[in-house]
A and B are shown apart, each in its own frame.
Chain A
Amino acid sequence: MTDVQDKVVTTDKMSVAATLFRFQSVFGLIAVFVAAIIFSPRKNGAILFVSADNLANVVRAVSEIGIIAVGMTFVILIGGIDLSVGAVLGLAAVGSAVLMVENDWGFLPSVVLVLAIGLVFGALQGVATAMIGIQSFIVTLAGLQIARGLARIWSGGQGVAIAYGDGPKEAPTSFALLGERTFGGLVPIPVIIFAVVAIAAVVFLRVSAFSRHLYAVGGNEKAARLSGVPVVRVKIAVFAICGLLASLAGIVHAVQLNQGSPNDGIGYELDAIAAVVIGGTSLAGGRGSVAGTVAGALLLGVLNNILALNNIDSNIQLLIKGLVIVAAAALQRLRPTS
């Protein structure tokens, strides 16, 4: 359990505490998971929560937020924030539907263009914040409005329904596969996409020099600049990645709901930020992990599911979720600083 990045850890006791805090979301996830089993409704002796179908539903339901939250982790690691991801998801969902249904584009060109739109949109936000020096909160708040407006214009203000087939005004059936389930009809493809994104992000942060730059910019931007880190390039890249992942989530969203609507993804940025915060990533930047975010997203998903299975009143659900976020943030404050 030694780590070059964990800076100075003086005693064994400290390191145990540090580990506990570092992986608070994983322990939190385990705790919520166990609680869910205990509080799960049962039917004919079977614990409904742990049924294969239900667990598949849980991870399917978090896949979109999870994909977005991975990108959000990158942004928050450099001390930024991206409020535009929900709107970019909506724009991408609309784009997928319009290109494939109304314009009769093929699967690959549509997906490539939609991903490119997300990437460029994110990169432009990165340019605005890194080169012009506007705070990312403001840039992406404006980005949210712009992406939402573009989605409304592109869709004509209405949801574009997706029908599958080979005929005109039909999306290719290959696109429908993205919303299907595999491994005996149990594992939803969106979950596999989320898993691939998460693994790729973890590996990327592990092997690339980019990772050191990222943590350096988030830790102390000035020091990073002085020690030769290409701060501007890092920032633009991070926002581009976040935009790319948001548009990927939009494609997944469209295929799961058979529709691209300009109102898709409203408020998703807040769920993604919540997953990152529960995952133990510091909003001040420089500290956190993708693994934590994945655990945070799953924790929220399990919590949503068990509250719903017990038919807890929707208003009470909001209160409970709010308290969990506060608790996670409070734990962060208690974390021993090294």
Chain B
Amino acid sequence: MRSVRISLAAAAVAALVLAGCGTTNERASGGASPGASKSCKGTDGKYTIGMSQANVAEPYRQRMDDDIKAAAKDVPQFDVKFADAAQDNAKQVADVENYITQQIDLLIISPNEAKPLTSVVKKAYDKGIPVIVLDRKVEGDAYTGFIGGDNVQIGREAGKYIAEKLLPQGGNVVELKGLAGATPQAERHEGFVEGIKGNPKVKVIAAASGDWLREKGQSQMDALLKANPKIDVVYSHNDPMAEGAYLAAKAVGREKEMKFTGIDALPIPSGGIKAVEQGRLSATFTYPTNGKEAIAAAKKILVDCGTIEKTQTLPTRLIDASNAAKIYAEENPTG
């Protein structure tokens, strides 16, 4: 039986090698950069679009998929497929490879990380598949267009809002930061520092890292409340941490003493817009999911035979009590 085991293993290995040396060869088309003429079949065409998502466990990314789905409904030529890499770079590489095998007409990708996804995105692009990159970039320029938000700008807007609207007379601010080492964390901090420069009486008296998480924001705020008797504003790098901070303040009966601001403003029931509408947060700033814009760009490339900008930066919007309900309704037209 052992010899059988060996021969089976040998057969398995032979199968592996044969699999590699098989029949067809699709590598011929390499090197062509996707021109509009090649992929565009006009309004009569039917197009399969592959959307490779980094991780749908994050509400922001689930919303991105939902926005793409909703926007694609209005383009009858489009059939969008979705894949979830569950935060694993290797899985996302395989997802894109599978889309290439399926010979999709356009790839939309929100990369888990830049470096590991760069070569497979280039592979798709070199095969003539137009590539739209969302939210996080890949390296180099082997993609058709990038659409994303500007975190420095968002931080700056938040800083200005706090310096001018919430604390015109100055006051104490604590900053709840995102995950250390993450680019958006650094950028949202950098922009904020610029934004509050105009009002030197605004002081950042403490900062802590809440790792983007509601429960971590809450526990960090517990400590900040004990250490700081006077806090006027909590600037949080995202909405869930701001909500956590609110809960911590409420637990010690201090939530009325201070104001809370967040970032992201997801138009979902557990998102920041609702928190503003219900009065827990004073303001939040939209971080666009880019889903609608991605489908618009895809339409431009495939249906209209046009070209898109290499980099499209979407502006942020201030959400406060005056517009929260209205914008929530706008973003959720069906419900």
Contacts and interface: CB of A to CB of B under 8 A. Distances in A.
Contacts of A187: 16-17, 20-21
Interface string B71-102: 00000000001111011111001110110111
Contacts of A22: 1
A198 B9 contact: yes
A58 B211 CA distance: 35
B8 A26 contact: yes
B119 A308 contact: no
A1 B4 CA distance: 8
B17 A308 contact: no
Contacts of A194: 16
A57 B99 CA distance: 11
Contact of A308 (B87, B90, B94, B103): B94
Interface in B253-294: none
Given A51-B24, A258-B115, A57 B82 contact: no
A184 B97 CA distance: 18
Contacts of A261: 89, 113, 116
Interface in A4-45: 4-6, 22-23, 26, 41, 43
A41 B27 CA distance: 20
A53 B94 CA distance: 12
B101 A48 contact: yes
A55 B82 contact: no
Contact of B1 (A2, A64, A203, A295): A2
A322 to B, nearest CB: 14
Contact of B89 (A199, A257, A289): A257
A199 B13 contact: yes
Where chain B touches its partner, the secondary structure class is: helix
Interface string A301-338: 00011001101011000000000000000000000000
Nearest to A160: B115
Contacts of B118: 258
Contact of A52 (B8, B21, B97, B115): B21
A308 B21 contact: no
Contact of A257 (B8, B93, B98): B93
A298 B12 contact: yes
Contacts of A61: 90, 94, 97
A257 B120 CA distance: 9
Contact of B2 (A48, A199, A206, A309): A206
B113 A23 contact: no
Interface string B225-253: 00000000000000000000000000000
Nearest to B92: A257
A161 interface: yes
B334 interface: no
A48 B103 CA distance: 9
B24 A314 contact: no
A267 B20 CA distance: 28
A148 B289 CA distance: 32
B23 interface: yes
Interface in A183-241: 183-188, 191, 194-195, 198-199, 202-203, 206
Contacts of A56: 19-20
Nearest to A313: B82
B118 to A, nearest CB: 7
B16 A253 contact: no
A130 interface: no
Given A199-B9, A202-B6, A314 B22 contact: no
B165 interface: no
Contact of A57 (B16, B86, B97, B180): B97
Contacts of A6: 1
Contacts of B83: 308, 311, 314
Nearest to A318: B86
Contacts of B56: 314
Contact of B101 (A162, A263, A309): A309
Contacts of B81: 311
Given A159-B115, A202-B5, A55 B19 contact: yes
B181 interface: yes
A305 B13 contact: no
Contacts of A257: 89-90, 93, 115-116
A94 B101 CA distance: 31
A57 B94 contact: yes
B309 interface: no
Contact of A191 (B16, B23, B101, B181): B16
11 contacts: A43-B103, A51-B101, A53-B100, A183-B20, A186-B22, A187-B17, A198-B13, A256-B93, A261-B116, A305-B98, A309-B98
Interface of A: 1-6, 22-23, 26, 41, 43, 46, 48, 50-59, 61, 64, 156-159, 161-162, 183-188, 191, 194-195, 198-199, 202-203, 206, 253, 256-259, 261, 263-264, 266-267, 289-291, 294-295, 298, 304-305, 308-309, 311, 313-314
Given A64-B90, A311-B82, 8 more contacts: A5-B2, A48-B102, A55-B20, A55-B22, A185-B27, A195-B13, A202-B6, A261-B116
